[in-house]
Structure 1
C-alpha cells in the first residue's frame, strides 16, 4: 500500500501555512512535506505537526534565487559559501523536525560553456550535504526538473540523475524522482521506477502537462501507482501538484 504525503507548498493554499497541517490530516494524509519551510520557526512547525498528528517527511535545502529565475546555489561555484550556509540552516531544521529526507535542487546553468564546472560543483556540494545529514540519520536526495518549467535546469533527465548518483557513490545519497517533471521530458516514469526503485529516496507526482491533480492531464495514474507499489519502493509518494479547483475537490485519487 502506498504512503502519500501532501506538499503543503502547493496543496491547501486556500489557508495560511500554519493551518495546512490540520487540513491535510482531515483530508486523510498522515504525512506532509514543504518545499521551503523557513518562513516558520522549526519549533513552530514541530508543534503544528504534533497537533495535527502528521509527520513531516521532506523539505528542500535553501535554493537562493532559483525560484525567481536565477541559478540557485547548489551548482554555482561562486555561491559555495551560500550553499554551506543553507546546509547549516537546513541542519538546524532537521534536528528539530527529523524528516526522512532533505532535497537538494541542483539549479540552473545559464552559461552553457560552464556546464562541466557547474556539475563538478554540484557533485562536491551533494557530497557535503550527504555527509552532514548522515550524522542526523536524514537521507539527502536530489531532483531533476524539466526544462519547460525551468529553462537551463542542470539536471533534467533520469539518466543524468543515475550517472551523478553512480559517480558520487555516497551511501546517504539517493534520487528524488518527480513523475511530473520526467514525464514532461518525455520519459517513462513507470519504467524508470520499476528499474531503479532501490536508488530512489522520495517520489513526487502531478499530472502532465499541466501539473494539476491526477485526471487533469495525460498520465495513467492507476498504472503509475501500481508500478510504484510493485517496484519495492517503500518511501513516501508526495502529492506536489497545483489543484484544479479547491484542494479538497482535487483529492479523488486519494480515495482510490
Structure 2
C-alpha cells in the first residue's frame, strides 16, 4: 500500500486517508539498522498520529525476490540479530503483531535442515516479543511455487512445532488473497479456525487490487470471520496508486456515518 510514496511519508498519508493504525514490512535495508534510521521511522509514525500495529521481521532483500531468511541455516544469525531492533520498536510503539516470512528453498540445503532451522528461529522470534504481548504471524504466500508454505495446513504444521517448543504466541496470518489464489477453501477455513487467526489481510483476486476489483467476497469473508470469533485487526494489503487506493471505502464510510446517533 502507498508504495508510490517515500516510506516515511506513508504513515501521514494513511492518517490523511482516515486510518489510525498502520503496519509495515521491514522498513530498513539491513537487519540491524542504525539509530538514526530507527528514530526517523518512529518519528514518522508518531508525527502522523497513527499506531503501529504490525511489523514484518527482517526478510532479506524483498526487492530482489527474497521472501524471508529464517529457514536458512547460513542466515540464522542475520535473522536473530534483527530481533533486538524488532523488540525495541515494539516496546516504544505498542506494536503487537509480527509477520515472519519463512524463506525459499536453498540449493545444497536439505529441506529437513531448513524446516528445523525455521522452527528454532520462529521460537526465538516468539521469545523476543513474548514479554511485550506480541504474536508471531505466519502466512501462506502465492505467486512463488517453491515457497514451502502455500496453505493454511502448511502453516499450522509449523505453528504446532513451535508450540511444541514451548512458545504459544504464534498464529496464522489469514491473507485472504494468498489463500484464495492458492486454492484454499476460505469459507471452511474461516468456519473452523477464525477464532484462532492472528491477523487478517485483504486484497482482491485476480490482480491483487482493492476489494471490488476482483471476484473475492472479501466483505462477506470478513463478516463471517468476525461472527466466528475473530477479534483482531483487519488490514489492507493490495496494489493501487495512492490517489485511488481508498475510493472503494466511501460507501461503507457513508453507511457508518448514517448509523451514528
Give the structure-2-normalised TM-score: 0.84
- Residue 200 of structure 2 is matched in structure 1 by 203
- Could you list the runs of 4 or more consecutive aligned residues of structure 1 that deviate by over 6 angstroms after TM superposition? none
Distance change (3 Å), C-alpha of 1:113 and 1:61? closer
The alignment status of 1:46 with 2:52, answered yes or no, reads: no
- Residue 30 of structure 1 is matched in structure 2 by 20
- Residue 157 of structure 1 is matched in structure 2 by 151
The alignment status of 1:247 with 2:242, answered yes or no, reads: yes
Distance change (3 Å), C-alpha of 1:247 and 1:197? same
- Distance in 2 between the 1:137 and 1:38 partners? 23
Highest RCO, 1 vs 2 (Cα 8 Å, sep ≥ 6): 1
Cα deviation, residue 67, structure 1: 4.4
Distance change (3 Å), C-alpha of 1:241 and 1:220? same
Distance change (3 Å), C-alpha of 1:156 and 1:214? same
- Residue 227 of structure 1 is matched in structure 2 by 224
- Distance in 2 between the 1:48 and 1:155 partners? 33
- Distance in 1 between the 2:66 and 2:247 partners? 36
Contact 2:139 2:152 in 1 (8 A): no
Aligned length: 242
Q: Which has the larger radius of gyration?
A: 2
Tell me whether 189-198 or 95-104 shows the greater mean CA deviation: 189-198
Cα deviation, residue 73, structure 1: 1.2
Cα deviation, residue 248, structure 1: 4.0
Cα deviation, residue 113, structure 1: 7.5
Distance change (3 Å), C-alpha of 1:113 and 1:23? closer
- Residue 131 of structure 1 is matched in structure 2 by 127
Contact 2:67 2:101 in 1 (8 A): no
**Which is richer in strand?**
1
Cα deviation, residue 76, structure 1: 1.1
Match of 1:90 among 64, 86, 94: 86
- Distance in 1 between the 2:68 and 2:48 partners? 33
- Distance in 2 between the 1:107 and 1:54 partners? 30
Cα deviation, residue 34, structure 1: 0.8
Tell me whether 55-64 or 68-77 shows the greater mean CA deviation: 68-77
Contact 1:27 1:248 in 2 (8 A): no
Unaligned runs of 5+ in 1: 1-10
